[in-house]
Amino acid sequence: MVLLVYMSDTQFKVDQKIVYPSQGVGCITEVFEKTVGDKTTEYYKIYLEVSDMIVMVPVANASMLGIRPIVSAEEAQKSLDMLGEAVEPVTSDWKLRYQMNLDLLKKGSIEDITSIVRCLYHRSKVKELPIQERKLYDTARKLLTDEIAIALGISAKEVEEMLHAKLEPLGALHEKKIIQLDDDDDDDDEFMDDVSTSSDDDSDDDDSDDDE
């Protein structure tokens, strides 16, 4: 038997948006008590949109699992600004890097999630990410996008554009350098063509002199 009782003293309320680390942004759809034998336990029923799944979490375990409220608009903006900051060097050992970022994802603060996105985005510009690490990056980026969208009251598409604008400058600069190098190579090729043509002309002149 399940007795639905809306509680007034729990941390989260019905219809409140929350973050469930590693799972995504969710919404509290019910707060209820479930009695089994002589034991009564309070539960949150949470709908996770990203996986279209409903989970039931004991109220007493929510904090231990890292479930937290959506950040404020100010905190969301700080995270966006953080994306544009310089990236500290990270280990080239992808397995170690993966574990470090996975631990951050489990902790689940918006600062931790932002760090994962920033780190792996710029790492992907150096070398393609392994499949597991790519999945971790996609999970973190989706979580960050969804939370910021709710915090700022805008669409996920708008947030994606904002993330791209913050992350891309370094990537664009990297691409510009590559293009510039390619242009230089083309100039060198044209210079070599001119030298080759000039040499051929000189050779023809010498041949003409010999004939005379």
Q: With the CA atoms of 115, 121, 122 and 127 taken in that order, what torsion angle do they form, in degrees rounded to the nearest 10?
A: 130
Give the pLDDT confidence score for residue 70 in this predicted structure: 97
In this predicted structure, the answer to whether residue 29 has a pLDDT above a threshold of 60 is: yes
If residue 175 lies in a helix (H) or strand (E), which one and from where to where? Answer: helix 156-211
Instruction: Say which range, 35-39, 164-168, 177-181, has the weakest mean pLDDT.
Output: 177-181
Q: What's the chain's average pLDDT?
A: 81
- Burial class (CB within 10 angstroms; exposed 0-12, middle 13-18, buried 19+) of 34: middle
Q: Given a cut of 60, is residue 8 above it in pLDDT? A: no
pLDDT at 88: 81
Q: pLDDT tens for residues 69-101?
A: 999 999 999 999 999 888 888 888 999 999 999
**pLDDT score for 129:** 95
User: What is the structure's pLDDT at 18?
Assistant: 96
pLDDT band at 198 (very low <50, low <70, confident <90, very high): very low
For the segment 188-192, the average pLDDT, to the nearest whole number, is 39
Could you tell me the two tokens for 109? 């603060």
Residue 190 has pLDDT above 50, yes or no: no
Per-residue confidence at 9, pLDDT binned at 50, 70, 90?
Answer: low
What is the value of pTM for the model shown? Answer: 0.73
Find the helix packing angle between 131-152 and 73-83, rounded to 10°: 140
CA triple 58-72-107, angle to 5 deg: 45
Question: What was the pLDDT predicted at 90?
Answer: 82
Nearest to 42 by CA among 24, 16, 17, 62: 62
Q: In sequence order, which residues have a C-beta less than 8 Å from that of residue 67 and are 6 or more positions away?
A: 12, 18, 19, 20, 21, 44, 46, 57
Average pLDDT of span 3-9 = 43
Rounded CA-CA distance 111/107 in Å is 10
